[in-house]
Every structure is written in C-alpha cells, then in structure tokens.
Amino acid sequence: GAGVSQSPSNKVTEKGKDVELRCDPISGHTALYWYRQSLGQGLEFLIYFQGNSAPDKSGLPSDRFSAERTGESVSTLTIQRTQQEDSAVYLCASSLAGGGAYNEQFFGPGTRLTVL
C-alpha cells in the first residue's frame, strides 16, 4: 500500500512569508509525528498527534509554528513569518495506535524548506 506522503517536496520562500507543509499518513495510522532536520543534524521532534487526544506540542520551537490534523488523516504544519533558521527538511511519520514500544514509525520523504 501507499506509504507516508508529503508535499511539496521542495519549498523555497522569502523571509517573512508563511508556508504550509502537508502530510498524508498511512491509512489507519492514528499516530502522526512531525520532525525537522537541519543540514547535518539529527532529527528534532516538533509535534505529535494521537487520535482525538490533545497533541503533544512540546517540540515546537516558537509560536510561529503550528500544526493541525483533520481527524486521523491529513496534517498541515504551518510556519508563519519564516526566518532563515527555519530552513531544514521537515519530516512526517505515522504509526499504528498505542503501544509505542512495539510499533515502528513510517517516515515520509520530507519537505525541504529553504528560506531566503
């Protein structure tokens, strides 16, 4: 079946503009995660959705970052008033519900964001 998909694959924007990044998780996966990866760095957790529970937003770096999820499907990560330090690859992952120790995360290909 289809894996996790993300769009766009690449986004170039000007400093100060808003951007929206989209993630389509695997059907039936109720857990959805956003990470970002700056050049040469490891993955940085941003936000996590699980079913109808309140999202874990503890990784969002500033109030310019927000994310929404429609039910148990599509998620959108929004960055307002982008800054050059927001340039990174933004990765989305999904997994089956609960029992996190047992379930693997499936990652999308990422969106490469470049802020000029």
Partner 1 sequence: DAKTTQPNSMESNEEEPVHLPCNHSTISGTDYIHWYRQLPSQGPEYVIHGLTSNVNNRMASLAIAEDRKSSTLILHRATLRDAAVYYCILRAVRLSMNRDDKIIFGKGTRLHILP
Task: Give the footprint of partner 1 on this chain (CB under 8 A).
Answer: 4, 31, 33, 35, 41-45, 48, 50-51, 53, 56, 58-59, 91, 93, 95, 97-110
Q: Give the nearer residue to partner 1 in terms of CB position, either 16 or 51.
A: 51
CB of residue 81 vs partner 1: minimum separation in angstroms?
A: 25
Q: Give the nearer residue to partner 1 in terms of CB position, either 14 or 40.
A: 40
23 contact partners, CB below 8 Å, separation of at least 6: 4, 5, 6, 32, 34, 74, 75, 76, 77, 92, 94, 108
Contact at 8 Å (CB) between 114 and 58?
no
